[in-house]
Amino acid sequence: MYKNTLSDNQNDYIAKVESQRSPDISQICESAATRGRTDITAKSMEHAVELFLEELEFPICSGFSANFKIFIVSIHIN
């Protein structure tokens, strides 16, 4: 955490990201495996995520949205 120089509050801090590049599926799975957040290998998790995303295409392409804990996947055509 870093001091928030835009605030007068002495207890105001902000977070700064280490990199501007977004992690890909492989990097996220590797991170989870490295931190011990899974009982499967990073490669197995990556394969499962790829299968999940392929399956997700069916309801999305049929006009449905998919609701997840932190985001919603949907298609909007303008």
Say how far apart CA 54 and CA 60 lie, in whole Å.
10
pLDDT digits (tens, 9 = 90+) for 17-68: 776 788 999 999 999 999 998 999 999 999 999 999 999 999 999 999 999 9
Question: Domain tally for the chain?
Answer: 1
Collapsed DSSP state (helix, strand, coil) of residue 64:
coil
Model-level pTM? 0.67
For residue 76, the model assigns a pLDDT of: 83
pLDDT of residue 19: 66
Helix axes 25-34, 42-61, angle to 10 degrees: 140
Residue 6 included in any domain = yes
Element (H, E) at 33: helix 25-34
Provide the residue range defining the domain that includes 46.
2-73
Question: Considering the domain boundaries, does residue 78 fall inside one?
Answer: no
Query: Is there a contact between 2 and 13 (Cβ–Cβ < 8 Å)?
Result: yes
pLDDT greater than 90 at residue 77: no
Rounded to whole angstroms, how far apart are CA atoms 20 and 30?
Answer: 19
